[in-house]
Amino acid sequence: MKPEISIENLVRPNIRKLEPYRSARDDYESGLLLDANENSLGAPYQQADGLHRYPSPYQQKLRGKIAGLRDLEPENVFVGVGSDEAIDLLYRIFCEPRIDNVIITPPTYGMYKVSAGIHDVTVKKVNLDPNFQPKVDEILDAADEHSKMLFLCSPNNPTGNEFEQERIEALVSEFPGIVVIDEAYIDFSDRKSRAELIKTHPNLVVLQTLSKSFGMAGIRMGIALASEIIIKFMLKVKAPYNVNALTSKYALEAFDHLDTISFHIDKLVEEREMLRNKLQEVPGVRKIYPSNANFLLVKFDDAVKTYKELAKKEIIVRYRGNEPLCENCLRITVGTPDENEKLINTLKELAE
Ligand SMILES: Cc1ncc(COP(=O)(O)O)c(C=O)c1O
């Protein structure tokens, strides 16, 4: 059993002692606001009404809504410009460039590695096992005193599967640093979010997003759920007005449409299984992996050829054949019923 983790000790010394920027809205939120050098005459056209003001720096209302949805407190919620902002901030907070390292479990989402590259942080790779599950002992063996973060993606991109609960719990309990569980696709899964684990594990960060199940990738709204101390550091390091007023407005409005969101999730899950059944009949399809997400990982006889031929027909899927354990695999997003039918018909034509 690892000794009790001190989050403060994991934080880079410069961030620990950082005096954050105080924006005008930190001091007063209402009154005759002549403190932020905004344009007092307003925005130049009617649809932009109100946008001459800076947005709320801490987004309390939105964080409250998200906390309610996930049965947490607003102090456990960070909102930012996509999950990618949260990933970037975690590197800035915890990883000393050229000294610290992170562990990732390929095949997995590419930004963990890209962000490490940006921050000059070493990446240790411990590939998933052949069932696409994390290898707990190997991961723990790979961790050293400079291993600050472990990224787990569940349901995993590009494989689509959920990681087993016992493995996640073992890693969250035993890993001597921050464990990030990326739940971008959690709402398509038949198991529930691990967000409640943050109540007992201060070193856990759960990432979510409005880009997938909410259908709002265009507004760029990502979420980190974590202990209050981690969220405080994220708020300290983020840009003062990271979430813009339009994103915030649309995100809040989305919470008035949870029924439609739920309906879309159910429909996409149904379509995913329909697509799976139909793909099974396509010549050249060798294996369709189980999925708890809104996409399928599919092994073809010749994935490069299929990928290129589909693209010629203007059907674009993602080639993942270069990833470990994903030889000859394409990742296919579940489309509308019409789109899925078109894909299947085209694949059948190409196989003739
Ligand atoms: C696992 C995973 N995490 C995060 C993201 C990015 O999310 P966002 O749009 O919130 O930046 C993606 C996008 O494809 C993803 O697959």
Q: What is the pLDDT of residues 249-297, one digit of tens each?
A: 999 999 999 999 999 999 999 999 999 999 999 999 999 999 999 999 9
For 65-78, how does the pLDDT look when each residue is reduced to its tens digit (9 = 90+)? 999 999 999 999 99
pTM of the model: 0.97
Indicate which residue's Cα is closest to atom 13 of ligand 1.
Answer: 184
Indicate which residue's Cα is closest to atom 12 of ligand 1.
Answer: 184
How high does pLDDT run on average in the chain?
Answer: 96
Residues framing ligand 1 (Cβ under 6 A): 82-84, 109, 153, 157, 182, 184, 209, 211, 217, 222
194 vs 186: CA distance, rounded Å: 9
Across 44-68, average pLDDT: 96
Distance 90 CA to ligand 1 centre (A): 15
43 vs 64: CA distance, rounded Å: 29
140 vs 148: CA distance, rounded Å: 12
Number of H helices and E strands in the chain, helices first, is 13, 11
Is pLDDT above 90 for 23? no
Indicate which residue's Cα is closest to atom 3 of ligand 1.
Answer: 184
Distance 314 CA to ligand 1 centre (A): 24
Is pLDDT above 90 for 30? no
The pLDDT value given to residue 142: 98
Across 218-238, average pLDDT: 98
The pLDDT value given to residue 3: 63
Is pLDDT above 70 for 210? yes
Is pLDDT above 80 for 2? no
Distance 89 CA to ligand 1 centre (A): 15
For 120-140, how does the pLDDT look when each residue is reduced to its tens digit (9 = 90+)? 999 999 999 999 999 999 999
The pLDDT value given to residue 254: 97
Is pLDDT above 80 for 95? yes
β 122-125/77-80 pair status: unpaired
Place of tokens 């000859």: 328
The pLDDT value given to residue 36: 93
